[in-house]
């Protein structure tokens, strides 16, 4: 009797955790992704700010499958899913399944602002992080020889949109890169000439955290020299400016967008499924699609409710959902039932800069050096591969003691908008 086939579409945090839980079980496991690596997205901003090499936060998927019996990997682009025929449609041909785990993740949401999408950087892929690093380094190269003070100021103004963990962490890391490294590499540019502006539509940063941690993060960024604009909203952009609601125009050649995400494009290609805000697929309490109990949806692309509110699009949610989907598939085959999926919130954290972070779990909060150490250890734990952990730990140790960033290579001068520099 042939084994039943489980196909996992997308190898982010949710897909990886489901695959790991199913590896070695009595299933034929096929993993599909457009990339041949698993990406540790929470550290993408450190690639963009010259703190880590790209390879340190990615792990080849075939390196996992060769250790997992009964599993294989297919490098392919998924164009759709035939729910009735039980086929995943890819550019390498259809892939039939008995069970399917959709873990395609999310994409950046520019809320319909085409000009912002055309003139901003986001951090969802490795190549985007490398492009942004190249752009930041090139901005300083051009500013160091720019005679026009107005244009020089625009080259040295960096606007970050979104006051969540990504925006806060990026702002702190960029400020440290400028103060401790780039201003020394370029004697013609003083750190005081640079501006980092963090724009947030809400009335505080890190809105999911307790008020004391929000205030601490804001005060810490101010002390570092980051300008925080609360209750401000970006409405448009050009290659050399950022437009805010109310008519304010910021002269800047660099716009980093971390203000929102929506479900991956694949969600829109599924016919007959219910969707929620952001295009997310509405799932049943067991994470399956209504009328298709053999199909599970996990991670950012899934809309799961807790206390009437959708769960956040975060890695911890995807990890727990991936594990649950794997257990659910095994239970189905064994004729067992499981209670509905329940998300256990272990808390959240964000690093602000060297020796400073905020963290919360249940009713417990911590900030400063202890939170920073906890942030380091947790991120090292979730990285895949001994080499990656070692390389990242060595980079962090070197940066801590010498306040230096080694990954300052301009690997491309290609620009999305050639007029920017």
Active-site residue set: 169
* Burial group, residue 97, by CB count within 10 angstroms (0-12, 13-18, 19+): buried
């085409």: which residue's tokens? 114
Alpha helices, H only, 4-101: 13-22, 44-48, 61-65
Single out the residue of 224, 258, 257, 240 nearest to residue 142, CA to CA: 240
How many angstroms separate the CA atoms of 166 and 170, rounded?
6
How many angstroms separate the CA atoms of 139 and 271, rounded?
45
Contact 211, 261 (CB under 8 A): no
Single out the residue of 162, 170, 175, 174 nearest to residue 205, CA to CA: 162
Rg over alpha carbons for the chain, rounded to the nearest Å, is 22
How many angstroms separate the CA atoms of 327 and 18, rounded?
9
**Beta-sheet pairing, 99-102 with 292-297:** parallel
Phi and psi for 345 in degrees, rounded to 5? -80, 110
Q: Which strands form 254-257's sheet, in the order they lie side by side?
A: 226-229, 195-199, 157-161, 254-257
How many angstroms separate the CA atoms of 181 and 243, rounded?
30
């Amino acid at each position: 009797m042939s084994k039943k086939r489980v196909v996992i579409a997308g190898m982010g945090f949710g897909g990886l955790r489901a695959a790991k839980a199913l590896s070695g079980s009595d299933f034929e496991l096929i993993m599909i992704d457009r990339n041949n690596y698993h990406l540790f997205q929470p550290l993408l901003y450190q690639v963009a700010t010259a703190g880590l090499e790209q390879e340190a936060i990615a792990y080849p998927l075939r390196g996992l499958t060769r250790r997992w019996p009964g599993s294989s990997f297919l490098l392919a682009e998924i164009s759709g899913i035939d729910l009735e025929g039980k086929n995943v449609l890819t550019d390498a041909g259809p892939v039939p399944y008995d069970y399917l785990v959709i873990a395609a993740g999310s994409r950046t949401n520019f809320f319909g602002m085409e000009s912002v999408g055309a003139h901003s950087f986001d951090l969802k892929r490795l190549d985007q992080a490398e492009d942004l690093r190249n752009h930041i380094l090139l901005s300083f190269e051009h500013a160091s020889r720019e005679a026009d003070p107005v244009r020089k100021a625009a080259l040295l103004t960096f606007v970050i949109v979104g006051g969540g963990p990504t925006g806060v962490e990026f702002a702190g890391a960029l400020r440290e890169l400028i103060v401790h490294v780039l201003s020394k590499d370029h004697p013609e540019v003083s750190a005081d000439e640079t501006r980092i502006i963090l724009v947030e539509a809400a009335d505080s940063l890190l809105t999911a955290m307790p008020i004391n941690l929000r205030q601490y993060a804001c005060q810490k960024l101010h002390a570092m020299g980051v300008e925080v604009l609360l209750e401000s909203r970006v409405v448009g952009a050009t290659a050399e400016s950022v437009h805010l609601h109310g008519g304010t125009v910021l002269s800047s050649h660099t716009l980093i967008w971390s203000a929102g995400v929506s479900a991956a494009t694949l969600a829109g290609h599924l016919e007959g499924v219910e969707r929620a805000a952001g295009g997310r697929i509405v799932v049943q309490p067991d994470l399956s699609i209504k009328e298709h109990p053999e199909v599970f949806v996990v991670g950012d692309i899934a809309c799961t409710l807790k206390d009437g509110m959708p769960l956040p699009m975060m890695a911890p949610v995807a990890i727990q959902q991936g594990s649950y989907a794997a257990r659910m598939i095994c239970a189905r085959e064994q004729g067992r039932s499981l209670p509905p999926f329940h998300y256990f919130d272990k808390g959240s954290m964000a690093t602000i800069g060297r020796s400073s972070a905020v963290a919360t779990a249940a009713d417990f909060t911590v900030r400063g050096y202890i939170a920073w150490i906890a942030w380091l250890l947790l991120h090292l734990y979730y990285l895949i591969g001994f080499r990656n952990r070692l390389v990242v730990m060595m980079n962090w140790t070197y940066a801590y003691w010498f306040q230096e960033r080694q990954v300052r290579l301009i690997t491309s001068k290609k620009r999305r908008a050639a007029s920017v520099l």
